[in-house]
Amino acid sequence: MIRTIRAPASGLLVSAAALMAAVPSLAAEMEARSRIESVTVYPDAATVTRLAEIDLPAGATSLVFRDLPNTIDPSSLRVEGAADGALSIGSVEARVAPAIAPQPDTEVEAKLKTLRAERDAQQAVAEALDAKKAMISRFGQSGPDALSPDSKAVDIDKWTAAWDAVGRGLAKVGDDLRIARAALRDLDEQIRGLEQARQRPQPQNGPRRIVSVELEAAAALKGRVTLTYRVAAAGWKPLYDAKLDTGGKGRAPSVELVRRASITQRTGEDWSGVSVSVSTVQARRGVQPPDMHTQRLAFWEPPPPVTRGQVMRKEAAANAIADETARLSPAAPAAPAPMQEAVEQQASLESSSFQASFRVPGNVDIPSDGAAHQLRIGSRKMEPQLSARSVPALDPTAYLTARIKHDEEAPLLPGEVSIHRDGMYVGNGRLSFVASGDSADLSFGADDRIKVERAPVSRKENEPTWFGQTKTEIREFKTTVRNLHDFPMRVNVIDQIPISENAAIVIEQLPATTQPTEKIVADKRGVMGWTYEMKPNDAKEIRLAYRMKWPADRDVVFQRIPNGSAPLTQ
């Protein structure tokens, strides 16, 4: 605050130096010459750390970081520092710098001016040559008497020399004129190209962020200040390479699971030569569960009916108001919609037991162009449990499956998997979320040496009689499995019987059914499995039989229930 200085009683004026001394000194502003040191990328955001080397004088200094992305979350700004002397960090202020309008390119304008001057000069040369050519042509069209200085006819022995002189003149002028016109065309093309480039809309620099950090130094010092902030428009998604070695004589099978991170960013600043880490934390997810409110069940009350007279009265009132408004302000333009203040999206960091960070070795470059950059972040070899799995009711093919146990601290996030078997690319799959300590199944394509066949054995229906008004249907299937490998193989067969949630529909599993090893597969009711350790050239037979009963006056239909969840029926 500026303090008021009163003049002494003697009436002498206070000097300008005394007035300046009475005003407290303001903090000097210093531009921060910073660079991005490290970036931590989350699946839905990124945290950027900038480093600035400082050489501060004694007293207060305002360190200004300019040209930062506008997507910065102001609440995420953090400042840290270290110096060879006493240094204190005060307030941190973030503000938005307006967009910079594109300025005309002075170099292009100067080039255009030069080219247009050259064209004018070349055009004058071409016009002079055209006039010279026209004059020679007129001389060539004159008679022999006009070529003589005294208007007498030229001797016939001089006609040849005159013709040669006119021809040489026209040829020379033609060559000069051709060169001049070619130069004009070149100049026109250059001018046209520059004018088109000038007319193209130049990219406008959007609004940027400016961050000011107030520093206080007891004495002159040197140190470093780091500015950390979180930005949107960046993220990564996991990709995997699953490489199965089925093994052989004296060699156990193995699976190598390679983790990759596909990073994209459009933050408005390039990450050049930075240390990059990827984290499994969902940075922009909420920090607490939603609030559950009391739910009440009440009888539905229909809205009161609206009569035709009420509708007509409302329409008449609305029309009267509109007419009066038009009469009072007939030429008034429509009022624009009220402006709403832009609300910057806020986000919070969520921590849980399933989080980890992977630091990419070395420094990498990731420009702000939205292109995907794949980085390898780790790999691990595991000993799988191989089996062949088949769902013969839908597809008789047996698929080679490897079950792996994930015992790393970092979970496996959902992502695409590139499948390789014994060095051959098989296809793409998808991996669901796998927490530490859980198991996951990876499919590696068809196993043609496991033969599976499913066939209906019988289907019996009874028609209702006067004594029984219930319809009954019995179905029985037989599935045959053969292991044609020359080594033992675990085979898993999945099948099902329908379920009912209506007391009037009864479904019974019959004793002819082969006892399943898994009565419920993956928590899906009615889905069961049979698992066998089959020797080479071994065969197994699986029977599945069930009875269905329902009232004869009702029709039934099979419904596919996704994810094993069945809706309640009335």
Residues ≥6 apart with Cβ < 8 Å to 26: 60
Helices (H), 366-516: none
pLDDT in tens, 401-411: 999 999 887 88
What's the whole-number average pLDDT of the chain? 79
Q: Is the dihedral of CA 138, 141, 146, 149 positive or negative?
A: positive
Question: What pLDDT does residue 167 have?
Answer: 74
Output phi, psi for 253, to 5 deg.
-70, 155
Question: What pLDDT does residue 148 have?
Answer: 52
387 exposed, middle or buried (CB, 10 Å; 0-12, 13-18, 19+)?
Answer: buried
Distance CA 88, CA 390 (A): 68
**Mean pLDDT of all residues in 72-85:** 90
Question: What pLDDT does residue 155 have?
Answer: 63
| Three-class secondary structure of residue 42 per DSSP | coil
Query: Taking the mean position of all CA atoms in its chain, how far away is CA 376?
Result: 19
The residue that leads in pLDDT, 502 or 342, is 502
List own/partner pairs for 454-458 with CB under 8 A and 24 or more apart: 454/392, 454/393, 454/396, 454/478, 454/479, 454/480, 454/495, 455/479, 457/543, 457/545
Question: What pLDDT does residue 190 have?
Answer: 86
Catalogue the E-assigned strands of 232-307: 234-245, 254-265, 271-279
Instruction: Say yes or no to pLDDT of 452 above 90.
Output: yes
Q: Which letter, b or e, does each residue of 239-248 get, where b requires 16 or more Cβ atoms within 10 Å of its Cβ?
A: bbbbbbbbee
Q: Identify the top-confidence range among 206-215, 278-287, 473-482.
A: 473-482
Q: Percent of the chain beyond pLDDT 90? A: 38
- Kindly state the DSSP code that residue 469 receives in the 8-state scheme: -
Element (H, E) at 477: strand 470-483
Helices (H), 76-158: 106-141
Instruction: Say yes or no to pLDDT of 85 above 80.
Output: yes
Distance CA 208, CA 100 (A): 9
Q: How many CA atoms lie within 13 A of 220 on its CB side?
A: 2
Residues ≥6 apart with Cβ < 8 Å to 505: 548, 549, 550, 556
Residues ≥6 apart with Cβ < 8 Å to 41: 234, 235, 236, 261, 263, 265, 276, 277, 278, 279
Distance CA 55, CA 279 (A): 34
pLDDT in tens, 133-159: 777 776 666 655 555 555 555 566 666
Q: How many CA atoms lie within 13 A of 239 on its CB side?
A: 12
Helices (H), 340-461: none
Question: What pLDDT does residue 139 have?
Answer: 65
**Mean pLDDT of all residues in 309-329:** 67
Which position has the token pair 């609305």?
Answer: 318
In 3D space, the residue among 461, 481, 483, 480 whose CA is nearest the CA of residue 472 turns out to be: 461
Question: What pLDDT does residue 327 have?
Answer: 56
Is residue 390 very low, low, confident or very high in pLDDT (cuts 50, 70, 90)? very high
Q: How many CA atoms lie within 13 A of 446 on its CB side?
A: 7
In 3D space, the residue among 127, 115, 333, 87 whose CA is nearest the CA of residue 221 turns out to be: 87
In 3D space, the residue among 394, 386, 403 whose CA is nearest the CA of residue 534 turns out to be: 386
pLDDT in tens, 458-485: 998 887 666 668 889 999 999 999 999 9
Element (H, E) at 318: helix 308-328
Q: Identify the top-confidence range among 49-53, 197-201, 321-325.
A: 49-53
The residue that leads in pLDDT, 338 or 255, is 255
Strand partners for 87: 217
pLDDT in tens, 87-106: 999 888 888 887 665 566 67
pTM for the structure as a whole: 0.60
Question: What pLDDT does residue 46 have?
Answer: 93
Residues ≥6 apart with Cβ < 8 Å to 510: 474, 476, 545, 546, 547
Which position has the token pair 């100049």?
Answer: 187
Is residue 362 very low, low, confident or very high in pLDDT (cuts 50, 70, 90)? confident
Question: What pLDDT does residue 514 have?
Answer: 94
Output phi, psi for 79, to 5 deg.
-125, 135
What separation in angstroms does the CA of 79 have from each of 53, 92, 210, 261, 526?
13, 8, 14, 29, 59
Distance CA 484, CA 497 (A): 29
Is residue 541 very low, low, confident or very high in pLDDT (cuts 50, 70, 90)? very high
**Mean pLDDT of all residues in 308-332:** 65
Question: What pLDDT does residue 298 have?
Answer: 60
Is residue 256 very low, low, confident or very high in pLDDT (cuts 50, 70, 90)? very high
Q: Which amino acid belongs to residue 459?
A: R
**Mean pLDDT of all residues in 381-392:** 93
Residues ≥6 apart with Cβ < 8 Å to 466: none
Distance CA 431, CA 416 (A): 6
In 3D space, the residue among 77, 105, 372 whose CA is nearest the CA of residue 236 turns out to be: 372
- Order of strands, edge to edge, in the sheet holding 439-446? 439-446, 395-405, 385-391, 489-496, 527-534
Question: What pLDDT does residue 145 have?
Answer: 54
pLDDT in tens, 156-189: 666 667 666 777 777 787 788 888 888 888 888 8
Q: Percent of the chain beyond pLDDT 70? A: 76
Q: In this structure, how many other beta carbons lie within 10 angstroms of the beta carbon of residue 189? A: 10
